[in-house]
Amino acid sequence: DTGVSQNPRHKITKRGQNVTFRCDPISEHNRLYWYRQTLGQGPEFLTYFQNEAQLEKSRLLSDRFSAERPKGSFSTLEIQRTEQGDSAMYLCATLPGQHYGYTFGSGTRLTVV
């Protein structure tokens, strides 16, 4: 257990359905990041929060993706109208400060059928 909790661990959904993932970070880490990782690739940045403010979004984050971090605590990532290309591991990571390495959660593996 890294201290960063992600739920669910696995999600299988039909194409076109909406899905939502949750990340509960280490309480004293104010920076929270979402990444996506497909087989054989490194993690790809999606979006970043400092406290409750969403400060940066990757161009990978299409209009179907939205993320929130109300009150600077847990964060949710929602994918609307899922496509097969959305199948991946979705990783949440937190930092106590900008010069540190990430602590990753265990990830949510999404399979779109």
Partner 1 sequence: QKEVEQNSGPLSVPEGAIASLNCTYSDRGSQSFFWYRQYSGKSPELIMSIYSNGDKEDGRFTAQLNKASQYVSLLIRDSQPSDSATYLCAVKESGGSYIPTFGRGTSLIVHP
Amino acid symbol at 65 = F
Q: Which of 77, 81, 57 is nearest to 69 (CA)?
A: 77
Minimum gap (Å) between residue 112 Cβ and partner 1: 18
Give the total of residues touching partner 1 (CB under 8 A).
23
Q: What SS3 state is found at 97? A: coil
Cβ closest to partner 1, residue 10 vs residue 15: 10
Minimum gap (Å) between residue 2 Cβ and partner 1: 8
Region from 18-26, 68-76, 78-86, 101-109 binding partner 1, contact rule CB under 8 A: 101-109
Query: Rounded distance, CA 66 to CA 78, Å?
Result: 5
Minimum gap (Å) between residue 106 Cβ and partner 1: 5
- Within 10 angstroms of residue 51's Cβ, the number of other Cβ atoms is 12
Q: What SS3 state is found at 17? A: coil
Give residues 18-47 in contact with partner 1 (rule: CB under 8 A). Answer: 33, 40-45
Q: Does 89 bind partner 1 (CB under 8 A)?
A: yes
Does residue 96 have a cis peptide bond before it, meaning omega lies within 30 degrees of 0?
A: no
By CB under 8 A, name the binding residues for partner 1. 2, 33, 40-45, 48, 55-56, 89, 91, 98-107
